[in-house]
Amino acid sequence: MGDIIITRDLTKVYHGHIKAVDNLNINIGEGEIYGLLGPNGAGKTTTINMLTTRIASSSGTATVNGYDINKESLKVRKTIGVVPQDLTADEDLTGRENLTMVSQFYDVPKQEARERIENLLKLVDMTEPADRYVKTYSGGMRKRLELIVGLVHNPKILFLDEPTLGLDIQTRSQMWEYVRQIQKELDVTIILTSHYLEEIDALADRVSIIDHGKVLVTGSPQELKSSLNGDIITITFREQNEADAMKNIPGVLEVTDSGPNTVRVKVSNADESLPDVINFISTNKLSTMKLTVQKPSLDEVFLEYTGKDIRVEDPGDARKMMMNMRRLRQ
């Protein structure tokens, strides 16, 4: 399938000196769930804002569904749905009224809108609270509503900027299920930003890790994890053993001592090597007390490419705003 979004040296400089997005080059395939992963201030929202034509780029180009973001912004807007980082639904209307309002804004014929709204509500289990005021909704219900508000005009591409920010982990994983469902049932391409690694890992077919406006690496979460080269199998034997011969098992990269009667076996892929390792243990009649398998997580990938842990960088919005203001004054 072709690429539905292509960016070429897409750049945004604020106030002449803040390079928020720096020569971004990405290709997003039709039907993909594509993640932009990066810490606060990495340039995720700025990228989304350019692609959705909310702001103009400073240089470079991008096409969205074949349309140039700078020259054909109206056409771009008709083919995309956007769920922004901040909540946008009107609290003094019901969920259904919010959806209907948006459908009118996009000139969706009445009957078609009614059917589509019904269908969307069902898709995210919101049929029951649809006629309640939004102000009575829980955080999760509100986010589910926001999610389908972006789909009322049947777009080909859906942009989700931090779709689960501030939700607890259980509600978050429910949202992931809904996002997956939407992608499957409605056949949309989804661009998702997040600084939750688990979210990208669970949802994205491919991801670009970005920092300081630049793409550091692109690949499927699995590829990125595998690129770190090595799952770890840790084995504790009942007694001292000469486990050095394990080096000869196919796929084993390294065997090191790791505590009393314990070895740390680094393999390129644990799923492939584990049967051989177990076979080695039984053929040599080794008696084991414990065997664990550890696969690298996206945390480690992130650390490897950005040189920092994503979790320590989570300043609240107020602090972020102050930091931005300070930057502007400089």
**Chain contacts with ligand ATP (rule: CB under 6 A):** 14-15, 18, 20, 38, 40-46, 85, 195, 320, 324
Distance, in Å, from the CA atom of 237 to the CA atom of 287, rounded to the nearest integer, reads 6
- Whole-number minimum distance, CB 41 to ligand ATP, in Å? 4
Give whichever of 134 and 192 is closer to ligand ATP, judged by the CB atom.
Answer: 192
Give whichever of 114 and 212 is closer to Mg ion, judged by the CB atom.
Answer: 212
- Whole-number minimum distance, CB 298 to ligand ATP, in Å? 16
- Whole-number minimum distance, CB 47 to ligand ATP, in Å? 7
Distance, in Å, from the CA atom of 190 to the CA atom of 83, rounded to the nearest integer, reads 11
Among 45, 98, 100, 103, binds Mg ion (CB under 5 A): 45
Query: Are the beta carbons of 161 and 84 closer than 8 angstroms?
Result: yes
Give whichever of 74 and 325 is closer to ligand ATP, judged by the CB atom.
Answer: 325
* List of residues 6+ apart from 295 with CB closer than 8 A: 225, 231, 270
Give whichever of 19 and 295 is closer to ligand ATP, judged by the CB atom.
Answer: 19
How far lies 141's CA from each of 94, 103, 133, 178, 211, in Å?
Answer: 12, 20, 11, 12, 31
Q: Which does 186 bind (CB under 5 to 8 A by kind): Mg ion, ligand ATP, none?
A: none
Distance, in Å, from the CA atom of 256 to the CA atom of 244, rounded to the nearest integer, reads 8
Q: Which residue has the closest beta carbon to Mg ion? A: 45
How many residues form the binding site for Mg ion (CB under 5 A)? 2
- Whole-number minimum distance, CB 21 to ligand ATP, in Å? 7
Phi and psi, residue 12, nearest 5°: -135, 125
Give whichever of 259 and 316 is closer to ligand ATP, judged by the CB atom.
Answer: 316
Query: Are the beta carbons of 118 and 125 closer than 8 angstroms?
Result: no
- Whole-number minimum distance, CB 176 to Mg ion, in Å? 19
Q: Which does 46 bind (CB under 5 to 8 A by kind): Mg ion, ligand ATP, none?
A: ligand ATP
- Whole-number minimum distance, CB 10 to ligand ATP, in Å? 12
Q: Which does 163 bind (CB under 5 to 8 A by kind): ligand ATP, Mg ion, none?
A: none
Give whichever of 43 and 296 is closer to ligand ATP, judged by the CB atom.
Answer: 43
- Whole-number minimum distance, CB 45 to Mg ion, in Å? 3
Give whichever of 213 and 296 is closer to ligand ATP, judged by the CB atom.
Answer: 213
Q: Which does 285 bind (CB under 5 to 8 A by kind): ligand ATP, Mg ion, none?
A: none
Interface residues toward Mg ion, by CB under 5 A = 44-45
